[in-house]
């Protein structure tokens, strides 16, 4: 498990108040982790802050699962 994945998981766990073991690769923020559309926007804002990156709106919309977020950030943070 990469360092980035750990940091993303920590943000998701804290923000959505879910158990860490629920935050799996395929876990959808909205369908599986109880996020609403506002939570999703806030998660993206939190990722931007944690990793000091800009996530454009179209990219943000494509980040639906924990795995999506990790793979986006692994590419963005270099």
Partner 1 sequence: MFDLSGKRALVTGASGGIGRAIAEKLAEAGATVGLSGTRVNVLEEVANGISGDTHILPCNLSDKDSVDALIPSAVEAMGGLDILVNNAGITRDNIFMRMKDEEWDDVIAVNLTAAFRLSRAAVKVMMKQRYGRIIGITSVVGVTGNPGQGNYAASKAGLIGMSKAIAQEVASRNVTVNTIAPGFIASAMTDELNEKQRDSILATIPTGRLGTADEIAAGAVFLASDEASYVTGQTMHINGGMAMI
Round to whole Å and give the CA distance between 30 and 53.
Answer: 23
Q: Which stretch binds partner 1 (CB under 8 A): 9-17, 18-26, 41-49, 55-63?
A: 41-49
In 3D space, the residue among 26, 31, 73, 68 whose CA is nearest the CA of residue 49 turns out to be: 73
Q: Which stretch binds partner 1 (CB under 8 A): 3-11, 15-23, 35-43, 69-77?
A: 35-43
Residue written as tokens 């806030």? 42
Using CB under 8 A as the binding rule, whether residue 45 contacts partner 1 is answered as: yes
Among 38, 54, 57, 58, binds partner 1 (CB under 8 A): 38
Catalytic: 19? no
């Amino acid at each position: 498990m990469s360092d980035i994945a750990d940091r993303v998981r920590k943000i998701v766990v804290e923000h959505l108040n879910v158990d860490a073991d629920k935050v799996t690769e395929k876990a959808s923020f909205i369908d599986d982790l109880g996020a609403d559309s506002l939570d999703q926007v806030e998660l993206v804002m939190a990722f931007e802050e944690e990793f000091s990156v800009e996530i454009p709106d179209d990219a943000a919309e494509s980040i639906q699962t924990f795995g999506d977020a990790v793979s986006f950030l692994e590419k963005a943070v270099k």
